[in-house]
Amino acid sequence: MTDQADWRHKLAERFTTPTARVLSKTGVTPNTLTVMGFLVSVAAGFLIATEYFLAGGLVVLFAGAFDLLDGPVARATGKTTKFGGFLDSTLDRLSEAAVLAGILAYYAFNDGTWESLLAFGCFVGSVMVSYLRARAEALGVKCEVGIFTRVERVIVMSIGLMFGQWFDLAIPIMLGIVTALAFVTVLQRLIHVQRTEKS
């Protein structure tokens, strides 16, 4: 599990470090990137709610880029702060909520009852993945394990939304995948914390 988390970090660093170095010279702050990512996610939610799925999926992907860059820019500029991490975690949850609220609103206004419930389940699973990490780390347990973290959720959501422009079942299938794998990750993190406590 730890190897998987390390692999994710190394892959992310390979893609984000060069861009972060450029951005660090422009004077943009990490917190600005964090807030911009949230605002872009809100725009994505609006596009999705109004049935612009292709544009919404692309904008979700674009918003995810801000989330990947704020941390590396903080490190590159020496502006890593506890509040920055706190703000990032808070707005990450609100960003996911904005996107899923857009999906839920679309189906709610188009009589998609079970799809709306699936969107809600997806939100619960996504929040729980992050909540368990926060609670574990508050107990002194590093908890980045799991097969489906925020990066994977953003990628799958983006793909599902883009295909949803042409295929009606693409978004429900995406929601089902994200929900199922989010709860698998929740289980993995529960097991990880239990085993760490016993060791």
State what percent of residues in the chain have pLDDT above 90: 60
Q: How far apart are CA 83 and CA 80, in angstroms?
A: 9
Better-predicted residue by pLDDT, 198 or 33: 33
* C-alpha dist (Å) from residue 109 to 49, 104, 105, 145, 165: 9, 9, 6, 37, 17
DSSP 46: H
Q: How far apart are CA 190 and CA 135, in angstroms?
A: 11
What is the structure's pLDDT at 1?
A: 47
Q: How far apart are CA 126 and CA 149, in angstroms?
A: 8
Burial profile 49-79: b = 16 or more Cβ within 10 angstroms, e = fewer? beebbebbbbbbbebbbbbbbbbbbbebbee
pLDDT digits (tens, 9 = 90+) for 25-57: 777 888 899 999 999 999 999 999 999 999 999
pLDDT digits (tens, 9 = 90+) for 113-168: 899 999 999 999 999 999 999 999 988 998 888 899 888 999 999 999 999 999 99
Give residue 135's identity as a one-letter amino acid code. Answer: R
What is the structure's pLDDT at 11?
A: 60
Q: What is the pTM of this model?
A: 0.89
Q: Is 173 exposed, middle or buried (0-12, 13-18, 19+ CB in 10 A)?
A: middle
Within 8 A by CB and 6+ apart from 191, the residues are: none
